[in-house]
Amino acid sequence: MWKNKMAVVDIETTGNAPKKGDRIMQIAIVIIEENKITDQFSSFVNPEQPIPPFIVELTGITPHQVNNAPLFGEIAPEIYKRLEGAVFVAHNVQFDLPFLQAEMEMAGYDKWQGSLIDTVELARFLLPTTDSFKLSDLTAQFNLSHDRPHQADSDALATSFLLLKFFSKLNQLPLVTLEKMEELSLHLKSNIAELCKSIISDKRKDIKALPADIEVVRGIALKKAPDQTEEEISPFNSDKIEVILKQAVPHYEKRESQLLMTAEVEKAFDNNTYLAVEAGTGVGKTMAYLLPAVKQAAQGNRVVITTQTVQLQEQIIRNEAMLLQKALNQKIEFALLKGRSHYLHLLKFEQALAEEEPQYDVVLTKMQLLTWLTETENGDVDELNLTSGGRLFWNRIRHSGWFLGKEKDPWKEKDFYLRALEKAKRSPIVITNHSMLVNDIQRKTPLMPPFSSLVIDEAHHFEDTCRRQWGKQLDYINLKYTIGQIGNDSQDLLAGRLNKIIHSEPGGKQPQELSDELIQELSHEADLSFGQLGSLLKSSVALRKGQQKYSLSLTPEMKESSHWKKIQYAFERLLSCMKQINQRLQYNLDLVKKESDKLTDSKKAITEETYSFLTEWSEWIQAIRVFFLKKDNSAVMWLDGDLRSLPGSLSLTSRSIHIQEEIKEHFFTKEKAVVLTSATLTIDHSFEYFLKGLGINEQQTSCKIYASPFDYKSSVRLMVPKELPEIKKVSQQEYVEMVTDHLIAMGQATKGRMLVLFTSHEMLRQTYELMKDSGLMEDFVLMAQGITGGSRTKLTKNFQRFDKAILFGTSSFWEGIDIPGEDLSCLVMVRLPFSPPDEPLTKALWNEAERQGKNPFAEISLPKAILRFRQGFGRLIRHENDRGLIVIFDRRLITASYGRYFLSSIPSVPVEERDLESIVQEIEHWL
């Protein structure tokens, strides 16, 4: 099939639903034969209807271009001739084909029938680590010509180039990989099985040796592990640091603050002291702590570097670490270490591959993993772009240690988790994440190798990470999913598979029964207990118009109520069922372990999967005990839920109020250097609030501030609109309407390129809907977190793709997104980022401050809001040449006595009070 005639089709349409009457307005077909482009056809088409402004903005196709174009019926013979006898190829076949079928039918032709190839589907499993499967992103990745995205002729040609790349990649995959893919691809939506079959047929006629870096183990092709040789690092003097930076950093410019920070980190490492460094954007803090870390490594000392985000970990490994090795002209072993659930368990995957599972997401994920195993050295899930269904499948095959002991694992020599641990033991610099470090520090036998110095980057998150990792979570959806994995003795799920192993082994041992009645009772008790929680939420919250999501603090007083006693009793019944399941599965597992020497590898895999399940099951049991059986007044507990989807949306959370002593005991009492750094650690130039959260103070810690070298005065304008009222003096509806009017006027002046930050998702949704319904923003692309779909990364990328785009974000958008240059010209903060006072954790911390006779607003809410404000401010200027406007809609910035603390926490920029007309004029002038 892969050498057959291929008709690569792309269309542009007036909308996305042919059934609603949307029509084709441009079509292009590229013919590929024998893997060469042999013919191209493209034409505008008169859609006989107006083109919506959004589509004009997206495609650049104007009514003028299509009004004099032929009707589809006039070019239908040309199209039919090209499609005849071809394989139909498109980037998202399910979009293009229905439109084409509808138009062909209207033109009097039979529906086209034949084989289909979807290049999105091919991309999903052939490029398992790529961030995006959008055509423009894929062509950029391969440096393919694609000059006019969203125009059919350019898109069809780009898809053709992409298809040929995919043919080439399929052809290079090992035969064993392709053979497994062929079986799996029978369950895909397009005819990829035929494609695989034809390539396999050709490869069998001319079998070539495997590439030097690939090996086949137990029928699965893997990338060989790199050689593990320890490298000596040559020491260097401190006076060489600037020379090394010049060699390492492209377009290096001397920054005094970077050199000063490097010297301070070096001093902390040498003297085993604590250092807190606030380093503004552009200081170059990563290099400032990496160079002293390498110097320590050369002296035989290990440094652990921990970050909050995966992005920063990978950036350090891919960018700064590589630049340093090049500059020093030597190999330095940097190890990336994560919790074991990040790594693939190969025995479990081998077993899952042998199972018949037609579910689409599972099939696609298995195919992704087969490709990935020929490419990955780490086996780390963070490399993969999985669907939500793929994530659930990953939970089955991820690493959770060994029940039968690693010696019984036939994949032990290739195990990714063991490889990561070994590399960490060998490496002088280990990079990890806050969660891994915080969990590991409490283990009896830590996984982290001993170290002499610790760097905590993105340190403003560290207290929250400790609180989260040492807390508990219980939610309905995940519990029900976990229950669904058990099955009864007669089903081909965990219980049934374990039963089969016991019955198949000689000795006549009898497993303990997991009957259908017991599993049904378990599921029923889960529904009843969470149903009771749902009715508690409904009856206890004060309903607000338009609000659906609520949080309810579970106070000691509430836990004395008769309603709570009923809930407690329901969860005790659920717990009793769960313990029975636990006891019976554990008994059956122990029976299997006694016969472990006789087990086949597939039986070992089932045993390990059951052990993983029981580890998770024990955590569920422990969480229910914490919430319903133990009395713990040192923790704050709350219930979250959406009244539109009960009990499905319910989750319980428990967090310790006092964790400072625990943090201090684990991280600040040993003879180790600890460097804490971030762009936002201080409030009014003081580290007191930040350090107090970690159980230490400024007497114990050397504190340094290195301001950003950027010239904010000439690159930033900060404005506050005059007409907007004080938030609390009008209703939310009224305030949202005024905000919307301002955003529409400003958005038109900036021509998009605007990021709008909210503190409430409810207000974001209301503003987004009002703007959309206004009819004034039809040629703008409006994107809203939690509404228009996609992760933060995906929304950010889409925002950068469109010229007239406005992005609405809450919570996670206040920090950690990087939109440099002209892609972001205007930043709007709708409100100062105070946490709602009724938020359970905030409420508990307020009560605690009051008990100590302190001012809770000044002690808790204001410092958090200031740090958040600083992080939001930092979104606008990411590089030296960036410039733009910040507009704060919250007049408390200039009317409230505490407004000055917000202003003194950011670089010195004049605050301009202006009316809307003046702001719009200034925007047009400034940009």
Residue whose pair of structure tokens reads 């219930």 in the numeric block: 639
For residue 526, the model assigns a pLDDT of 96
- Residue 229 in this model has a pLDDT that exceeds 70: no
Peptide bond into 226 cis (omega under 30): no
For residue 54, the model assigns a pLDDT of 77
Residue type at 25 in one-letter notation: M
Q: Bigger pLDDT: 927 or 814?
A: 814
Close Cβ partners of 67 (under 8 Å, ≥ 6 residues apart): 46
For residue 91, the model assigns a pLDDT of 95
- pTM of the model as a whole: 0.87
Q: Bigger pLDDT: 168 or 595?
A: 168
Residue whose pair of structure tokens reads 């206040």 in the numeric block: 814
- Residue 257 in this model has a pLDDT that exceeds 70: yes
Q: Considering the domain 712-926 in this protein, what is its CATH number? A: 3.40.50.300
For residue 247, the model assigns a pLDDT of 86
Q: What is the mean pLDDT of residues 376-392?
A: 90
- Residue 641 in this model has a pLDDT that exceeds 90: yes
pLDDT tens-digit profile of 564-577?
Answer: 999 999 999 999 99
Give residue 636's Cα distance to chain centre. 27
Which H/E stretch holds residue 334?
A: strand 334-336
Least confident residue range of 276-285, 303-312, 633-642, 816-825? 816-825
Report the alpha-carbon distance of residue 308 to residue 438 in Å, rounded.
11
Q: What is the mean pLDDT of residues 136-151?
A: 83
Of the pLDDT bands very low, low, confident and very high (cuts 50, 70, 90), residue 2 is low
For residue 546, the model assigns a pLDDT of 66
Of the pLDDT bands very low, low, confident and very high (cuts 50, 70, 90), residue 160 is very high
Say if domain 6-206 classifies as CATH 2.60.40.10. no
pLDDT tens-digit profile of 308-351?
Answer: 987 788 889 888 999 888 888 888 889 999 888 899 999 999 99
Q: What is the mean pLDDT of residues 274-294?
A: 94
* Residue-averaged pLDDT of the chain: 90
Q: Which residue numbers belong to the known binding site?
A: 279-286
Give residue 122's Cα distance to chain centre. 22
Tokens read off for 70:
């032929």
For residue 507, the model assigns a pLDDT of 67
Report the alpha-carbon distance of residue 835 to residue 832 in Å, rounded.
9
Percent of residues, the chain, with pLDDT higher than 70: 99
- In three-state secondary structure terms, 754 is strand
Q: Bigger pLDDT: 180 or 796?
A: 180
Q: Bigger pLDDT: 432 or 137?
A: 432
How buried is 42 (Cβ within 10 angstroms: 0-12 exposed, 13-18 middle, 19+ buried)? middle
For residue 669, the model assigns a pLDDT of 83
Nearest to 762 by CA among 741, 745, 787, 742: 787
Q: How many CA atoms lie within 13 A of 837 on its CB side?
A: 7
Of the pLDDT bands very low, low, confident and very high (cuts 50, 70, 90), residue 634 is confident
pLDDT tens-digit profile of 834-846?
Answer: 988 888 999 989 9
Report the alpha-carbon distance of residue 570 to residue 343 in Å, rounded.
37
Q: What is the mean pLDDT of residues 745-767?
A: 92
Report the alpha-carbon distance of residue 376 to residue 362 in Å, rounded.
20
Q: What is the mean pLDDT of residues 902-915?
A: 92
Q: Which residue numbers belong to the known binding site for ATP?
A: 279-286
- CB count within 10 Å of CB 540 equals 15
For residue 307, the model assigns a pLDDT of 94
- Is residue 50 within 8 Å of 63, Cβ to Cβ? yes
Residue whose pair of structure tokens reads 């490994």 in the numeric block: 317
Close Cβ partners of 435 (under 8 Å, ≥ 6 residues apart): 339, 465, 468, 469
pLDDT tens-digit profile of 409-443?
Answer: 889 999 999 999 999 999 999 999 999 999 998 88
Least confident residue range of 282-286, 523-527, 547-551, 791-795? 791-795
pLDDT tens-digit profile of 489-514?
Answer: 888 888 988 988 888 877 667 889 88
Which H/E stretch holds residue 425?
A: helix 416-426
Report the alpha-carbon distance of residue 84 to residue 90 in Å, rounded.
16
Let me know if the fold of 6-206 is the same as that of 712-926.
no
Nearest to 594 by CA among 665, 674, 506: 506
- Residue 545 in this model has a pLDDT that exceeds 80: no
Length of the chain as a residue count: 927
For residue 513, the model assigns a pLDDT of 87
Helix axes 516-540, 476-484, angle to 10 degrees: 170
| DSSP string for residues in 429-489 | EEEEEHHHHHHHTTSSS-SSPP-SEEEESSGGGHHHHHHHHTSEEEEHHHHHHHHHTT--T
Per DSSP, 898 falls in state: T
Q: Domain extents for the chain?
A: 6-206, 473-655, 712-926
Report the alpha-carbon distance of residue 918 to residue 871 in Å, rounded.
27
Q: What is the mean pLDDT of residues 679-702?
A: 94
For residue 728, the model assigns a pLDDT of 82
- Residue 782 in this model has a pLDDT that exceeds 70: yes
For residue 459, the model assigns a pLDDT of 96
Residue type at 875 in one-letter notation: R
Close Cβ partners of 30 (under 8 Å, ≥ 6 residues apart): 7, 8, 37, 39, 40, 41, 156, 157, 159, 160
